[in-house]
Amino acid sequence: MPVNLEGCRFFIKTFGCQMNENDSEHVAGLLIRAGAGKAPSPEESDIILVNTCAVRKKSEEKIDSFLGRLSPLKKDRDRVIGVLGCVAQLRRGELFKKRPEIDIIVGPDHYHELASLLSQKREGKLLKTSWNRVWHEIGSAETFRKSRVSAYVPIMEGCDNFCAYCVVPFSRGREKCRPAAKVLAEVQDLAGNGYKEVQLLGQNVTSYRDQETGEDFAGLLRKVSGVEGIEWIRFITSHPKDISPEIARIMADRPNICRQLHLPLQSGSTAVLERMNRGYSREDYLEKAALFKGLMPDIALSTDVIVGFPGETEADFEETLSVLKKVEFANIFSFRYSPRPRTAAARIADDVPLGIKRKRLIILQEVQKEIQLARNRTFIGKTFQVLCSGESQKDAGRYSGRSEGFQVVNFGSPRDVRDRFVDVLITGCGPYSLHGKALL
């Protein structure tokens, strides 16, 4: 049936990772193609969509709080309220009982149908959360991008690893890979439209394999780096057990692949890693980190760390701290462990007291803060190329962007440099950002 949302205005609130951000861009593009327009706020919209993240309990709590604030808007007039994403897939019909203001729940495998579902007249609630291993293509023409120079490009979705703490296989399904030809076509289209940076996305990009040709991620990365006009290429997320020396060599060989890598550690203790079902040891991780740093001494490594996983001892925690000190990560994302539904770890005792988890997280973040501050001080007096994303949100009258190492750089400039590469002389720093002035 024809899809027509003419005259409707929609608002999307996005929680979570880059994959969710990209999904929201897809959904916005599909709704706009169906005749709808973007609204600046929930109050001014006819359709409110909440794109959700289920990776942590705290994420779900934030989402539930936001949904609660939408209830009065539902009473104000006949709006459609929809929940998308990982919580939609994980909680499904439970959400209707908890939040009766919700009209529609749609999982990640059905975004290509969303405009049609919203345009249909219906009675009662609508739930669409089935999945399969078929890739549903949504390309550049159906994507409404926030940036004019930097773009997400999905290459795979889902995960087959079943790490003991991780809900992704249940919220995103099993791995399915986008055809390499479609990936390349989108990157070429972006280059032709003036985009300068692409970020290849997936829950585990290093397990990518093209179903038609058998090409792995290293082969795809090599082809993407050959697209003329794309100056920076990034990818996220990599799994330490899958990342190969060939990927390291390609990164070192191709100047348009950023010297930056996110490689989740989770724990520095081999015993904890085994209970997490991560598939590598502490020594394996350090060996791979050393490989990348050996080929690219200036590489910026970032990571994820969970503290307080069941059975984690003080000695295990100290091993994690020692990896931080040895690798000297440019940035970390750190969390307290919280049991997630359906995961293997949820079936064992959460035996590390909350107070100890909090204490360990504070210590971890303080250690990393000192590492980052010392590292950032070495950049003072150097000149970095920065892709400017716009005006600084924290420093009026200045601009903000990211360096090749994905570090935030706030800087002054005598003229507007938004959506441009600019050379910035670093004049100062804090633990979480660099400061400087544009060299124009």
Amino acid at 66: F
Whether the CB-CB separation of 309 and 339 falls below 8 Å is answered with no
Average pLDDT, the chain: 94
Query: In the prediction, which pLDDT does 83 show?
Result: 95
Q: Which of 117, 119, 192, 204 is nearest to 159 (CA)?
A: 204
Q: Which of 229-243, 286-300, 351-365, 384-398 has the lowest mean pLDDT?
A: 384-398
Give the Cα separation of 111 and 124 in Å (integer): 20
Residues 106-165: tens digit of each pLDDT: 999 999 999 988 887 667 788 999 888 889 999 888 999 999 999 999 999 999 999 999
Q: Which of 37, 42, 49, 47 is nearest to 79 (CA)?
A: 47
Residues 169-198: tens digit of each pLDDT: 999 999 999 999 999 999 999 999 999 999
* DSSP class per residue in 172-203: T-S-EE--HHHHHHHHHHHHHTT--EEEEE-T
Mean pLDDT of 399-424: 96
Alpha helix positions (H), 105-158: 114-119
Q: Where in the chain is the domain with CATH 3.80.30.20?
A: 141-377
Whether the CB-CB separation of 21 and 52 falls below 8 Å is answered with no
Lookup: tokens for 199: 């970020």
Does this model's pTM top 0.75? My answer is yes
Whether the CB-CB separation of 96 and 105 falls below 8 Å is answered with yes
Give the Cα separation of 210 and 155 in Å (integer): 9
Q: Where in the chain is the domain with CATH 3.40.50.12160?
A: 9-128
Query: In the prediction, which pLDDT does 2 show?
Result: 47
* Helix (H/G/I), strand (E/B), else coil: 106: strand
For the domain made up of 383-438, the CATH class stated in words is: mainly beta
Give the Cα separation of 342 and 280 in Å (integer): 23
* DSSP class per residue in 374-440: HHHHTTTT-EEEEEEEEE-SSSTT-EEEEETT--EEEEE-SS--TTSEEEEEEEEE-SS-EEEEE--
Query: In the prediction, which pLDDT does 71 show?
Result: 85
pLDDT at 261 over 50: yes
Q: Where in the chain is the domain with CATH 2.40.50?
A: 383-438
Give the Cα separation of 420 and 430 in Å (integer): 24
CATH topology of domain 141-377: pyruvate-formate lyase- activating enzyme (3.80.30)
Phi, psi at residue 306, to the nearest 5°?
Answer: -110, 130
For the domain made up of 9-128, the CATH class stated in words is: alpha beta
pLDDT band at 3 (very low <50, low <70, confident <90, very high): low
Give the Cα separation of 198 and 205 in Å (integer): 14
Q: Which of 231, 228, 274, 285 is nearest to 256 (CA)?
A: 231
Whether the CB-CB separation of 84 and 50 falls below 8 Å is answered with yes
Give the Cα separation of 221 and 201 in Å (integer): 12
Amino acid at 289: A
* DSSP class per residue in 325-389: HHH--SEEEEEE----TTSSGGGS---S-HHHHHHHHHHHHHHHHHHHHHHHHTTTT-EEEEEEE
